[in-house]
Amino acid sequence: MKDRFAKHVFSEIDMHASNFSKSVIGYEVLPPPELERIFNMSGGNIFHGVMSLHQLYWLRPIKGYSNYSTPIKGLYLCGSGTHPGGGVTGGPGRLSALNVLEDMK
What is the C-alpha separation between 99 and 77, in angstroms, rounded? 10
17-64 pLDDT, tens digit each: 999 999 999 999 999 999 999 988 888 888 887 778 887 888 888 888
This prediction's pTM: 0.62
Where are the domains positioned within the chain?
2-44, 53-104
Which class for 75: exposed (0-12), middle (13-18), buried (19 or more C-beta within 10 A)?
A: exposed
Cβ distance 81 to 70 under 8 Å?
no
* Rounded-to-integer distance, Cα 21 and Cα 24, Å: 5
Q: What is the pLDDT of residues 65-99, one digit of tens each?
A: 888 999 999 999 998 888 888 776 788 999 999 99
